[in-house]
Amino acid sequence: MTKPHLILGNARYSSWSMRPYLVLERAGIEYTAEFHPLRTDKFREEVRKVSPFGLVPALMLGDETISDSLAISEWAAEQVPSLWPKDEVARGMARMLAGQMHAGFQPIRRELPMDLGRDHKPRKALSDEVYAEIARMKIGWGMALHRSGGPFLFGDWSIADAFYTPVASRFRTFAIELEPEFQDYCDLLLAQPEFLKWEAMAADEDWVIEDYLPPDEA
């Protein structure tokens, strides 16, 4: 049987790609992978050959393709149910928080883009929207951590933690100040072996997007 094949964007920039990578790695599912540089003609040409929407990540399962980070993670959880919390209420809440990250927090995505190669320093200015979204995110984190007692959102590591790992990297990159409880959680996410492996791959990449931030923010 052919192994699942994961198609990804740059490790340095693609938070969407990082999430299912972390999930498949944590699940111990055997797979193969290929990376494509974002914002290039080659990316559009190559990815459209295998991804029906021309987007990454995409998981090829024989002749079929799943091209969505949450859908890929749900597929993985069908193989390894422990990727979601065992308790049915916690499981629903974990899906809720993962879904919020998957579909929301646009100001954070826009003003704090993931860049694992950038020096760690604050941006010169952030909008009130970003601070409001960070506060909203911390409400969800606090609710989950207080319910479970930690150290991850729902006690043991879950798909919800995979979805917030790129956020933890953004907060580190742009030196966002957090309360100790939330800083400890972010530090924990960034200490996981799956993330450290991803970070090492990002460091080895030659692909750089020159206009990723305005010149005075680079």
Match 């055997």 to its residue by tokens. Answer: 30
At 165, list the tokens.
């790992």
Is the omega angle on the peptide bond into residue 151 within 30 degrees of 0, that is, cis?
Answer: yes
> How would residue 212 be classed by pLDDT, with cut points 50, 70 and 90?
low
Domain-embedded: residue 39 = yes
Same domain, 196 and 91: yes
Which pLDDT tens digit goes with each residue over 82-105? 999 999 999 999 999 999 999 999
Domain count, the chain: 2
Domain-embedded: residue 164 = yes
- In the chain, where do the E strands start and end? 5-9, 32-36, 58-61, 64-66
Domain-embedded: residue 207 = no
Contact in structure between 141 and 186 (CB atoms under 8 Å): no
Q: How far apart, in whole angstroms, are the C-alpha atoms of residue 1 and residue 187? A: 38
Please say if the pLDDT value at position 124 is more than 90: no
Other beta carbons less than 10 A from residue 66's beta carbon: 20
Domain-embedded: residue 215 = no
- Looking at per-residue pLDDT, the higher value among 45 and 153 belongs to 153
Q: Which of 133, 141, 97, 105 is nearest to 15 (CA)?
A: 105
At 204, list the tokens.
């080895």
- Looking at per-residue pLDDT, the higher value among 92 and 38 belongs to 92
Count of CA atoms in the C-beta half-sphere (13 A) of 77:
20
Which pLDDT tens digit goes with each residue over 173-199? 999 999 999 999 999 999 999 999 999
Which pLDDT tens digit goes with each residue over 46-87? 777 777 777 889 999 999 999 899 999 999 999 999 999 999
Vertex 124: Cα angle to 121 and 128 (nearest 5): 110
At 112, list the tokens.
């704090």
Contact in structure between 48 and 54 (CB atoms under 8 Å): yes
- Which residue segment(s) compose the domain that 25 sits in? 5-81
- Looking at per-residue pLDDT, the higher value among 43 and 126 belongs to 126
> How would residue 123 be classed by pLDDT, with cut points 50, 70 and 90?
confident
Same domain, 67 and 139: no
At 161, list the tokens.
């933690």
Match 């920039």 to its residue by tokens. Answer: 13
